[in-house]
Structure 1
Amino acid sequence: MHQDELTQRLAERIVHHHKKMPFHDDGSKKRQKRCLVALAGGPGSGKSTIAEAVADKVSQQHVKCQAISIEGFMKPKSALSEEQLKKRGAIDTFDGEAVVNMFRTLRARGPGHELRVPVFDEEKSDPVPEGQLIEADTEAVIFEGIYMLADREPWRRIEELVDEKWFIHVRPELCRERVTERRTSKGITKTKEEALR
């Protein structure tokens, strides 16, 4: 399936969920809940690209949608052991409880309430608390991250807090090629060989 067709279909799923959300009883024509999506896939699978493209298509259908990376929930370097620093990006170097609590808060509050969440600062290579805003008038949010659908605590609790769960399947060799390019272009590694290792 062509990516444009895929993103259109996924956008339609979000709009469909949004239309099924009940309105508040106060006559304000505001929905009681946001449509929440958990999007997972391996490194280099295209999570961010697809999430942004889908969010744009949803917003074009008059349902304000944001794409949010959970990379900001990575624990700061200062909170990691020497062993964890060597494998930074592994599941135990993320604050899974904070991710689950964010979903619970969004489920409880719904549209009309804003929420600040952490963002990852590429230059500092560390998270910035409350660095990005889920705006009050946002009606749908696509959260993307490697471990969004992990079958272990506390990550597995996300499943009951979202309306849609998507996983991107990409050939491993393509992902490896993309991550290699990313690591060399950002200066994380000096050579392609180092990045491949």
Structure 2
Amino acid sequence: MDKTYDSLSNYLVQKEKSHPPEVRCLIAIAGIPGSGKSTLSERIVSRINNLSGTKKAIVVPMDGFHYTKKKLRTFSDPDEAIFRRGAHWTFDAQGFLILVERLRAPIKNDTVIGAPSFDHGRGDPVSDDIKIIIFEGLYLHLRNPPIWSSIVSHMDELWFIQVDREIAKERIIKRHIQSHIGESREEAIFRVENNDMINADYILNNSFPPTRIVHSIEATEQEFD
């Protein structure tokens, strides 16, 4: 898999060089739950920064735009909203679009742009923890107007991670158990089948065609999203 990481990293380094200096290169990496978006994004960014010798790239995860549990409790059906957390309607899409628009604007050296991260242990976003360029998240290729499709319109490229559905399910089951979303394997399986895979189908049925398909990393990897 190192060859794939190296190839994609070298490609982005060359692509960035062709951009005007005041324009950022924005890449949206999407995929169904358990496809390996976080792992791919982080390893590409690490390689880009090693190649350039500077912090040229950074991952901006969409997870930071989950609505907080406090916000979800204000929904008309708070129990469903909290159980379905991870569905596209449980994200602050408007807030994410605002961030993307700021990053798409010409670079100003005296401007610092902050973005939230997400604490899976606490289960809520963490404000102003990240600063710029490869976006990764479930719904970054959605064609739903007006907000999701607007997010896509600002991206230079759309990369979609292709993964075997059963491999993805097993990864998420393990992750749910590790993060105590499911206290038992049975509970984790129930959540995967009644939330994560519903989200997976929604993604597959409502996304723009990607500009690049990346095959998922090996099933032996330990960190997935």
Please indicate the TM-score interval, normalised by the length of the shorter structure.
Answer: 0.7 to 0.9
Q: Which structure has more strand as a fraction of its residues? A: 1
After TM superposition, the runs of 4+ consecutive aligned structure 1 residues lying more than 3 A away are none
1:37–1:142 CA contact under 8 A, matched in 2: yes
* CA RMSD between the two structures: 1.5
Q: Which of 135, 142, 159 pairs up with 2:134?
A: 142
Match 2:33 to one of 24, 38, 43 = 43
Quote the residue 1:151 is aligned against: 143
Task: Describe how 1:1-197 pairs up with structure 2 within 5 A.
Answer: 3-22=1-20, 31-62=21-52, 64-80=56-72, 81=75, 82=78, 83-110=80-107, 112=109, 113-130=111-128, 132-134=129-131, 141-153=133-145, 154-197=147-190
**TM-score calculated relative to the size of structure 1:** 0.86
Separation in 2, partners of 1:143, 1:55:
11
Q: Give the alignment's TM-score, normalised by structure 2.
A: 0.76
Unaligned regions of 5+ residues in structure 1, if any?
23-30
1:34·1:111 contact (CA, 8 Å) conserved in 2? Answer: no
Count how many residue pairs are aligned between Structure 1 and Structure 2. Answer: 181
Q: Return 5+ residue gaps in structure 2 as ranges.
A: 191-225
Give the 3-state SS of the residue equivalent to 1:35 in structure 2.
coil
Percent of matched pairs sharing the same residue: 34
Q: Distance in 2 between matches of 1:158 and 1:16?
A: 24
What are the Cα deviations for residues 28-51 of structure 1, in whole angstroms up to 9, with x where unaligned? xxx201211100011111100000
